[in-house]
Amino acid sequence: MLQAVPSDDYKVFAYMNDGSIRCIDIAPLIKAETVFERLADTDVFKSRLTVINDTVGWDFEGNRNPYKCIDIDPESIFEAPVVCESLITGGH
């Protein structure tokens, strides 16, 4: 994975090494009393998003420690729909 770009509605556009762009909806994962609960704050969701452990993840401490982040199973990213999103145009 090359890049992860957040949207305002809890979606992540994952720009893959094979040239595909996949859209992952994180909203269903954000539930109280789960590791994803912190992502309910859209500022945290967007500002802490990164590529870590070769997948979409959130680095809460800002030190790139792969053991102190939460991330998405890479298989679920490859199963996410391919979209025609562009960093330049911003279209879906």
pTM of the model: 0.85
Partners of 47 in the β-ladder:
none
At residue 84 the predicted structure's pLDDT band, cuts being 50, 70 and 90, is confident
| Res 87: pLDDT | 54
| Res 1: pLDDT | 87
Domain spans in the chain, listed from the N-terminal domain onward: 3-79
Q: Give SS3 for 47.
A: helix
Q: Is the CB of residue 15 less than 8 Å from the CB of residue 21? A: yes
- Of 34, 31, 4, 14, nearest to 82 (Cα)? 14
- pLDDT tens track for 21-70: 999 999 999 999 999 999 999 999 999 999 998 999 999 999 999 888 99
